[in-house]
Structure 1
Amino acid sequence: MATRQAIVSIFIFLVFNIFLLVVCHAAKPSLEAKVSALNQFSTNNKGVVELDSDLYDEFVAKPRNYSMIILLTAMEPQINCQPCKEFDPEFRLVAKSWQSSRNEHSRLYFGILDFKKGREVYAKLNLNNAPTMFYFPPTTGPYAKEISEPNRYEFNRRGFSAEGFASYLSGHVGIQVPVKRPINFFAIFVSIFVILGTLAAIKLLYPFIKKVFQNRNTWAAISLVIILMMISGHMWNHIRGPPYVLQNNGQISYIASGFSNQLGMESQIVAMMYRR
């Protein structure tokens, strides 16, 4: 009798555990299901996956057999985040460029989580500024990294351009991430117009220009300007890049104290005061 009860207890225990495994498996999407969802989202939105708090938690959860770069931004007008507005088109440009020439052997997805849809994520990550961007490497599969923790993009060092962002991604993914900017026909038209206008102006004014450049006084003035620039420390300013002026105790200093040091304004003062 005791043996029968023990067998029944073991059977119930096994059935219960199998039930838990089935429920957990059903509640947690498989890797291929997540990849399929990412492919669908990115295809329908020019390479960008629009996230909310739930989707963020789902797609960054381990294991991952894909890479994901997620931009946490704040595009609401009342927040008025200028860096967010500046970087948003650059981020989308890289995402679109990657989608058009995506390497099928490297799963890289671009996600955007706006503050309006992801307040819980901002609170969980203790973020109080935007934009912030994290790269999540794969944790399983042929492209898995030893360090599976997210890497934070440094805007101060790499800037807000698509080229700097693409270079950062290329270093992490190991594949060249392209940047395909659309052709700016207006800029090309303006450049051609300016070049043709300049050539036409030179042709019309050539007799006057010829007389100016053949005049000794013109070359004397040019030489004098160059001499004054050199002896006043302009080249030193160009190499060292010192501040133009300094503020000290509420007063503006135009002359630097000490040796081997000067301000940008100082060279102009010396040039104006120079007497032969």
Structure 2
Amino acid sequence: FGPKLGAKKRPEQMDFQRQGFDADAIARFVADQTEVHVRVIRPPNYTAPVVIGLFVALLLGMLYMKRNSLDFLFNRTMWGIVCLAITFIFMSGQMWNHIRGPPFMITNPQTKEPSFIHGSTQFQLIAETYIVGFLYAVIAIGFIAVNEAADATSSHDKKQGTKKSSNPLSLFNVPANTLAIIGLVCICVFFSFLLS
């Protein structure tokens, strides 16, 4: 190897805490140190197509098994619940979480207390998404309860209770006035939580 011409140099080390240890970071470090460019080739990820295929197969199998009783496809209440669930998912910020990949919650380094809601308006935690989605759902249930209470009083005045109501809230046998009060309390309390 021959005699050393200069002082002893410190060996190059990659700081995994700062740069990470995935293949791209290591290839970048090798390229910076040796000017040798390493091509990173990843295998294809078949997780999403397999999960979607299994879900479609399960759905088609269920439709095939219940082909004689497909009345649930024409059920307005079921489709309303599906539409509300999709609306709550998107309004709560789940798509933002899917794109950005935030943590579930954060811990304060000084006090070690967990925080489920981020202090900034430019960031959102996954737990915050669940909380906001729950608040939207309870507010919507409150509006539905007020609407059903109004329908129950108007139909009671017209028909004097001869026909049984087909709404899902009629299963609880709650008087219309009580249903309206419960709905208004849900709207007021949980909307104030949403604003705070």
TM-score range (shorter-chain normalised) is 0.3 to 0.5
For the pair shown, the structure with the greater C-alpha radius of gyration is 1
TM-score of the superposition, structure 2-length normalised? Answer: 0.39
- Whose helix proportion is higher, 1 or 2? 2
